[in-house]
Amino acid sequence: MYQPGKPIEELERELGITGAIKVASNENPLGPSPKALAAIPPALAQLHMYPDAGGFALRRALAAKYEVDLAQVAIGNGSNDLVYQLVLATCEPDDEVLSHRYAFLSYRLAAQVAGRAYVASPTTPDLACDVDALIAAITPRTKLVVLGTPNNPTGSIVSSGGARRVLEALPARALLVIDEAYAEYAAAWPEVDHADGLALLARDPRVIVLRTFSKIYGLAGLRVGFAVSDAGVIDILNRVGRTFHVSSLAQLGAIAALGDDEHVARSARHARAAVEQMQREVTGPGVRVYPSLANFVLIDCGRPSTPIYDQLLRRGVIVRPLAAWGLPSHLRVSVAREADMPRVVAALNEMLNEMLDA
């Protein structure tokens, strides 16, 4: 079961503190797109009406932005919702869903909920996707290969060449899902080669690209994501979608946010600066901060991370322990506002060093 991060209000109530900083859920610390905030209030008077079940206005906006046909776009209640729909829509009872050991937990959970087998291939020593190992794990039963790039929780990426190799190794009946929830952040590192899902889709109709408005657009509370693929794949996906599953406010906010290039660019620049700050400044015996092209970093504490997590909570810094991923010595730390970053770094360094002496 997916365990959500602890809400700020609950933590402050439990511990009797104020001013907590939440860096546990990879949210955009700069907040929602201002254009989305401006677009939503005028629509509040229409809340008695059901949303557009077909999402036509949002899908048209997405199709125009990404230069695809309207029939190639589906929307969901977050991109996470679309992962579950893909398993239900495309996998027969004997099919397998394949990813790697430290991929996003929802890939495994989606397979389990649908009663499909989930296969996790080994990773590299740096916890990134090992393309050779992933390809070796492909069998005739493989139906979905799901790759997050950048990957949550590691921040690692799959190169463009690596993604092409996976695609070439797929059985003819299989599909390659490229989860690009953090793609807009990765664009802040133009010098790093990483897979481009839409470019892959232009080469092969078996590619499905997932994106979300929850991350860089700052609309996590509205829950809206989308898929881009071949029209035939989207048609199958839509057959298992729930009616009215994306609210009217979510659709309206997403349309407005989609045109907020300034907010996206500012958020990406901030994330790169904050990630690089943590890579430079978070230190301690046995501590490693992994490279990341997202809005978070993975930290190997060099020892069990749960006591460190607990002590950080008491100092009002909420991070994400990763035992559920099979990483009991690791924490995931999202970027904070610029004004909060010194406090986050100082708390991490204090605990990473103090807990060693305890």
Q: What would the mean pLDDT of 162-177 be, rounded to a whole number?
A: 96
- Pick left, alpha or beta for residue 209 (phi over 0 → left; psi -120 to 50 → alpha; otherwise beta): beta
Q: Report the distance separating Cα 156 and Cα 129, nearest Å.
A: 8
pLDDT > 90 in the chain, percent = 86
Q: Tell me the pLDDT of the chain averaged across its residues.
A: 93
Is it the case that residue 17 has pLDDT exceeding 90? no
Whether 356 shows a pLDDT value over 60: the answer reads no
Average pLDDT over every residue of 166-185: 96
Least confident of 16-30, 124-138, 283-297, 312-326: 16-30
Q: Lowest mean pLDDT: which of 103-117, 152-166, 296-310, 343-357?
A: 343-357
Per mean pLDDT, which range of 15-19, 57-61, 253-257, 335-339 is the poorest?
A: 15-19
pLDDT tens sequence across 85-95 = 999 999 999 99
pLDDT band at 53 (very low <50, low <70, confident <90, very high): confident
Work out the average pLDDT over 183-190.
96
Strands of the 296-300 sheet, one edge to the other? 288-289, 296-300, 327-334, 320-322
Asked if CATH classification 3.40.640.10 holds for the domain at 34-259, the reply, yes or no, is yes
- Once rounded to an integer, what is the mean pLDDT over residues 152-177? 96
What pLDDT, on a 0 to 100 scale, did the predictor assign at position 3?
56
As a three-state string, the secondary structure of the chain is: CCCCCCCHHHHHHHHCCCCCEECCCCCCCCCCCHHHHHHCHHHHHHCCCCCCCCCHHHHHHHHHHHCCCHHHEEEECCHHHHHHHHHHHHCCCCCEEEEECCCCHHHHHHHHHHCCEEEEECECCCCCECHHHHHHCCCCCEEEEEEECCCCCCCCCCCHHHHHHHHHHCCCCCEEEEECCCHHHHCCCCCCCCCCHHHHHHHCCCEEEEEECCCCCCCCCCCCEEEECCHHHHHHHHCCCCCCCCCHHHHHHHHHHHCCHHHHHHHHHHHHHHHHHHHHHCCCCCCEECCCCCCEEEEECCCCCHHHHHHHHHCCEECEEEHHHCEEEEEEEECCCCCCHHHHHHHHHHHHHHHHHC
Residue 61 pLDDT: 97
pLDDT at 47: 92
Question: What pLDDT digit, counting tens, does each position of 196-243 carry?
Answer: 999 999 999 999 999 999 999 999 999 999 999 999 999 999 888 778
Q: What is the pLDDT of residue 5?
A: 57
Confidence of residue 4 (pLDDT cuts 50, 70, 90): low
Is residue 180 a contact partner of residue 229, using CB atoms and an 8 Å limit? Answer: no
Amino acid 306: pLDDT: 94
Q: What is the pLDDT of residue 354?
A: 79
Arithmetic mean of pLDDT, 23-30: 95
pLDDT at 2 over 80: no
Dump pLDDT digits (tens) for 112-126: 999 999 999 999 999
Strand 225-228 with 207-212, pairing:
antiparallel
Q: What is the pLDDT of residues 266-318, one digit of tens each?
A: 999 999 999 999 999 999 999 999 999 999 999 999 999 999 999 999 999 99
Q: Fold for domain 8-32+262-357?
A: Aspartate Aminotransferase, domain 1 (3.90.1150)
With cut-offs at 50, 70 and 90, classify the pLDDT of residue 168: very high
Select the more confidently predicted residue: 355 or 311: 311
- What are the boundaries of each domain within the chain? 8-32+262-357, 34-259
